[in-house]
Amino acid sequence: MSRLILATRNPGKITELRAILADAGLQHDLVGADAYPEIPDVKETGVTFAENALLKAHALARATGLPAVADDSGLCVDVLGGAPGIFSARWSGTHGDDRANLALLLAQLGDIADGHRAAHFACAAALALPDGTERVVEGRLRGTLRHEPAGSHGFGYDPILQPDGETRTCAELTPDEKNAISHRGKAFRELVPVVKELLG
């Protein structure tokens, strides 16, 4: 069984990709970055989700000599020209402060009417091999931004994005419901034929 490393310390992401690979009949031994604690986290200096995903995947592949998968994702708001985009996790100035990020974005959109609140979650997933071979795929979850947060599941901007065709926000969906339609789930599923092509 060949080993595949996912550039994350988030056990939820590892479980999700493991399940997607298993559903596709792929028997790779998937581990997270915690399996290699000596390798430092990679600075995300790219200007697109794809660039950041590739930076992380290549760094891990070089450091471990193993094929590596990485993803980068965020919220893209149409009326803001695609922002916060790659800055989603630090939109308020502090990385990972979900509450502050959400509050700032809602304030910026305060006078924007319902018909102009379209947005989508985007995720780029990259596979990099130690020899430099690379592939990137993308997944999106389109929806509309609510004026007030709703729901207690999920994280980040989940409480304000209502997916198209839904009456609930991402944070009101069950984890299984969200995984079935999520941008990351879509990107990881798009990665399956790439893994089959490059790793067998």
Binding site, annotated residues: 8-13, 72-73, 155-158, 178, 183-184
- Across-strand partners of 73? 123
What's the length of the chain? 200
Among the listed residues 23, 71, 72, 114, the single catalytic one is 72
114 in active site: no
Burial tier of 84 (Cβ tally within 10 Å: 0-12, 13-18, 19+): buried
The position carrying tokens 């298993």 is: 22
Annotated binding-site positions for Mg(2+): 72
DSSP, collapsed to helix, strand or coil, labels residue 121 as strand
Q: Show the tokens assigned to 74.
A: 């965020």
Q: Under the phi-then-psi rule, with left for phi > 0, alpha for psi from -120 to 50, and beta for the rest, what region is 181?
A: alpha
- Residue from 195, 196, 197 nearest 68 by CA: 195
Catalytic sites, residue numbers: 72
